[in-house]
Amino acid sequence: MARGNKLFCLSSGGYRIVKKGMNRVCELFNIKYPVIQAGMIWNSGWRLASAASNAGCLGLLGAGSMYPDIVRENIQKCKKATIHPFGVNVPLIYPDMDKIIQIILEEEVRIVFTSAGNPGTWTKYLKDRNVTVVHVVSNLKFALKAVDAGVDAIVGEGFEAGGHNGREETTTLCLLPLLGENIKIPIIAAGGIGSGTAMLAAMALGADGVQIGSRFAASVESSAHVNFKNAVIEAKDGDTQLMLKKLTPVRLLKNKFYAEVKAAEEHCATEDELKQLLGRARSKQGMFEGDMEEGELEIGQIASTIHSIKTVQEIVTEIIGDYNALVKKGFATF
């Protein structure tokens, strides 16, 4: 069975779980809840993605930290672990993108989230091969570019998100209404969303669904090192900061490596000096190998409200439960 089929081509073997007209994100991916588990480097392997899909969300593999062979292995394991749709997040600026795209097609994954690159490069190619394409943006200009390229939906990611981030520093609260004014295709909110109440806030702002990263980074099924997960649940407000703006802006959890970057930036380090400081495989060292001093630790601001490592099923039950309870409780009018 081809994974991630859209509603209209479920005759190929999938089954319909979404009521038409209920929610555009649920319809687009044929999922129960309009919740995407973000494809985070070093966190989003097949265990996390399949658990998210099994819990009624859309699971995403994070190809940004995988060699092509590892992408294939993760796709194959994910297929065995869930009968539900899942997708792959591919940062378009990474090397080996051609190979990874071919593997995705060979393995018949039918959902691709692209980020960090030009949506014009791969969108038509993928859509011609029956793949649903979503592009991640941090400003209106790139959102309009992605719409022009023919993507099926947009992820609008705010300044508070973990990992790589936009130069405009527009927050989710300010980005969503702006996208809503100008974009007709489904909008998925990302950055700062770790709860059912934040999910409802995003829907109030016009989002059709949400992409959640940090909360799932602190899940049992995340492939990150337990040291990293523990650091996430211990983070307080102000413990992350957007750094390395001369290279590509990235939100870091404060540690020894962060302090070195901060000191270098305060002394006006050049791009080359920052690149040298960053070195290679820092994020693997931190998030995957658990070196909390020298590693690069990427997490969102919302980590300050995450206090425990839970299973994906527990997380999803809590988010959807809180969301539904708040919807049912309603709000006073004035």
- Which stretch of DSSP H or E encloses residue 80? helix 68-81
Contact 294, 282 (CB under 8 A): yes
Four-residue CA torsion sign, 17, 18, 20, 26: negative
Q: Which is nearer to its own copies, 128 or 181 (CB)?
A: 181
- CB of residue 179 vs its own copies: minimum separation in angstroms? 9
The neighbour count for residue 28, using CB atoms within 10 Å, is 25
Antiparallel, parallel or unpaired: β 111-115 and 132-137: parallel
Q: Which is nearer to its own copies, 34 or 59 (CB)?
A: 34
- CB of residue 33 vs its own copies: minimum separation in angstroms? 5
- CB of residue 192 vs its own copies: minimum separation in angstroms? 4
- Which stretch of DSSP H or E encloses residue 318? helix 312-329
- CB of residue 178 vs its own copies: minimum separation in angstroms? 6
Residues in the chain: 334
Q: Which is nearer to its own copies, 305 or 313 (CB)?
A: 305
CA distance 237 to 305: 8
Q: Which is nearer to its own copies, 88 or 136 (CB)?
A: 136
- CB of residue 34 vs its own copies: minimum separation in angstroms? 7
- CB of residue 165 vs its own copies: minimum separation in angstroms? 12
Note the residues at the interface with its own copies (CB under 8 A).
22-23, 26, 32-34, 139-140, 158-160, 167-175, 177-178, 181, 191-195, 197-198, 200-206, 236-238, 241-242, 266-268, 300-302, 304-305, 320, 323-324, 326-328, 330-334
- CB of residue 237 vs its own copies: minimum separation in angstroms? 5
H-helix segments, the chain: 24-29, 46-54, 68-81, 97-106, 123-128, 140-149, 172-182, 196-204, 214-217, 226-234, 256-266, 271-278, 282-283, 312-329
Residue 254's contacts (CB-CB under 8 Å, 6 or more residues apart) are 239, 240, 241
Q: Which is nearer to its own copies, 13 or 321 (CB)?
A: 321
- Which stretch of DSSP H or E encloses residue 232? helix 226-234
Q: Which is nearer to its own copies, 4 or 194 (CB)?
A: 194
Radius of gyration of the chain (CA): 19
Q: Which is nearer to its own copies, 41 or 193 (CB)?
A: 193
